[in-house]
Structure 1
Amino acid sequence: MRVPYEYAVIQAVPRIERGEVINVGVVLYCQRRDFLAARTDLREDRLRAIDPHADVPAIRAALASWDATCGGSGAAGDISLGERFRWLVAPRSTILRAGPVHMGLAADPSEELDRLVELLVKV
C-alpha cells in the first residue's frame, strides 16, 4: 500500500549573495510510517564550480547536522518527526537550505528517498 510523504531537496548555497545552488541531498517525511530521514551526496566538483573557495568540511558538517536532526539528536529529540521536518524545511539564509516541499506516494519511504537522491542529486 502506498502512503503519502513530503520531501524537499537540500541545496548548498556557498555564496548567498550570488544565489547559485547545487542539490546536495533530500529530506523525506512520512507521517503514516513514522519516517524522517535525510540522505546527502556532496559533489565537491560541482560545489567548486560555483565557488572555488567553498569550505567543504564546514558544508559536510552542516549536512551531518541534518541527519542528526532527523534522528532526534540534541534538542530535536524533544519534538515530533513532523516538527523536525518543518524546522528543517523552514526558509533560511544559510549555506544549506531546503527547496520547496513536494508530495508523493510510496510503498517504502526509505526506498523512495534513495530513488529521489539518485534522480535529483546524483544525476
Structure 2
Amino acid sequence: MRVPFEYAVIRVVPRVERGEFVNAGVIVYCPEHAYLRAAVHLDEARLRALDPDAPVADVHAALAALAGTCDGEDGPAAADRIGQRFRWLTAPRSTVVQPGPVHTGLTAGPDVETDRLLRTLVLR
C-alpha cells in the first residue's frame, strides 16, 4: 500500500547573493510511518566550482546538524514532534545550507524513497 510523503532537497548556496547552489541531500517526511530522515552527500568539487573559498567544513557541520535534528538528536528543534521538525527544517531561510521547496508523493516505503531521491537528485 502506498502512502503520502513529503520531501525537500537540501541545497548548499555558497554565495547567497549569486543564488547558485549544489544539491547536498534530501529530507523525507512520512507521517503514516512516523518517519523523518535526512540523507546527505556533499560533492566538494562541485561546491568549490561555484566558490573556491566555500567553507566546506562548516557546510559538513551544518549538514550533520540537520541530519541530527531529523533524528531528534541535535539542534533547537530536536525535541519537537517529527512533523514540527520537518516544518522547521523546511522553512525558507537565506543561509548557506537551505531547503528547497517541499514536494509530495506516494510511496510504499520511505527508506526506499529516501535512497531513490538521494540517488536521483543529489548523487551523480
Q: TM-score, normalised by structure 2?
A: 0.96
More helix by proportion, 1 or 2?
1
Q: What does residue 58 of structure 1 align with?
A: 58
- Cα deviation for residue 17 of structure 1 reads 1.1
Q: Which runs of 5+ in 2 are unaligned?
A: none
Q: Which runs of 5+ in 1 are unaligned?
A: none
8 Å Cα contact 2:25/2:41 also seen in 1: yes
- Cα deviation for residue 110 of structure 1 reads 0.7
Answer yes or no: is 1:101 the counterpart of 2:102: yes
Q: What does residue 6 of structure 2 align with?
A: 6
SS at match of 1:100: strand
1:16-75: CA deviations, max 9, x gaps? 111111100000000000000000110001000000000111000000011110011244
Q: Which amino acid aligns with 2:29?
A: Y
Cα distance between partner residues in 2 of 1:51 and 1:93 = 17
Q: What does residue 16 of structure 2 align with?
A: 16
Q: What does residue 90 of structure 2 align with?
A: 89
Q: What does residue 110 of structure 1 align with?
A: 111
SS at match of 1:99: strand
Question: Taking every aligned residue pair, what percent have the same amino acid on both sides?
Answer: 54
Q: Tell me how many residue pairs correspond in the alignment.
A: 123
Q: Runs (4+) of structure 1 moved beyond 6 Å?
A: none
